[in-house]
Amino acid sequence: MGEHPSPGPAVAACAEAERIEELEPEAEERLPAAPEDHWKVLFDQFDPGNTGYISTGTFRSLLESHSAKLDPHKREVLLALADSHADGQICYQDFVNLMSNKRSNSFRQAILQGNRRLSSKALLEEKGLSLSQRLIRHVAYETLPREIDRKWYYDSYTCCPPPWFMLTVTLLEVAFFLYNGVSLGQFVLQVTHPHYLKNSLVYHPQLRAQAWRYLTYIFMHAGIEHLGLNVVLQLLVGVPLEMVHGATRIGLVYVAGVVAGSLAVSVADMTAPVVGSSGGVYALVSAHLANIVMNWSGMKCQFKLLRMAVALICMSMEFGRAVWLRFHPSAYPPCPHPSFVAHLGGVAVGITLGVVVLRNYEQRLQDQSLWWIFVAMYTVFVLFAIFWNIFAYTLLDLKLPPPP
């Protein structure tokens, strides 16, 4: 940034104090919601020389004089971000972004610079919160490693929209399971029923040309034990993540894990069918656990080591059940039981795409080079799997089980 002429410190301080006192009450009343042209008028009051810059001291004074108009935690964030300008000056666009109370590029750049000192006590120390406020605070500490982000999220979250994606997927999975249970007359190890694979939602290697099966297999589960573990994991992990990161990001990770799971089976376990939502669930859980490990010192969630251990135990139990079932004598030979490789596909998505999605709160994905690298890797894998499904089965002269 180039040099900008400025008066002496004493003269500047006096002039700034006078300009703050000259602020009209009407302007003060409409300050928090002023459109950009009003911000320009206000900015010019503090920049009589039309240099395009004001000092961070002026900005701090302006914030403090209007502290009643801002949420307390957002005010702290704005002050911390103002302090991140090492040159001691704020340009007009930064001024508009900050005073408009937006998480724009100036916010993200300041956060990435590492200047995140907040003046008051941590959010965890606040008392007298309602049940809903404690829940939001708990979610913030479960998923976000930075105090500046936790405070911003705490003041910004309105539960509108609610975490509809994970709730909808879970309800659909339970509904389909109950329907199949009634139809088959079996709820435990439904996959052993002779008519189980006849469902049009299951991925079957002989029916791999029916593209919807690469996704709809998540609504079919091997049994209540399979459904139970997946539902518990995606509710305990997926719902809080969606509350923070939104349905778009979490849906992206979940669906990418689901598709990667079925494609991985079609490449690595070519004769096996696929059922269950483990690909999507493992993508979310592995991304969340990797995020905790990479930000271990910043994660202030209670019993984080115990929570990680419980999640890993549940994942290991579910994966072990899937491996055992895959090699258990099939109830409908020569077709084997469903594959466990979908779990591994979900984990691979979680520790690549998932980690990038969850790493920075509200940072735009298109601004991250690592995001594009993993998107490219995922795209190459999908294209490879598609060509593999088209040509490899014929070239290898593989003997597939008959269609259900």
Catalytic residue IDs: 278, 343
CB-based contact 244:144 (threshold 8 Å): yes
Our measurement of the distance from residue 244's CA atom to the centroid of its chain's CA atoms, rounded to an integer in Å, reads: 7
How far, in Å, CA of 210 to CA of 182, rounded?
A: 26
CA 375 distance to own-chain centroid: 16
Contacts of 269 by beta carbon, 8 Å cutoff, 6+ apart: 326, 339, 340, 341
What distance in Å separates the CA atoms of residue 170 and residue 301, rounded to the nearest whole number?
Answer: 25
Distance CA(168)–CA(323), nearest Å, equals 28
Token pair of 151, please?
A: 């405070």
The first and second tokens of residue 296, run together, are 């271990």
203 neighbors 273 (Cβ within 8 angstroms): yes
Amino acid letter, 59: F
Residues whose CB falls within 8 Å of the CB of residue 273, separated by 6 or more in sequence, listed in order: 197, 202, 203, 204, 205, 217, 335, 336, 337, 338, 339
Give the CA angle between residues 314, 191, 382 to the nearest 5°.
70
Closest to 338 (Cα-Cα) out of 169, 164, 204: 204
Structure tokens at 204: 């079957």
Can you point out the beta strands (E) in 88-235? 89-91
Instruction: Classify 118 as helix, strand or coil.
Output: coil
CB 295 within 8 A of CB 361: no
- State whether residue 12 is helix, strand or coil: helix
Q: Based on C-alpha coordinates, what's the Rg of the chain? A: 27
Q: Which residues pair with 90 in a beta bridge?
A: 54
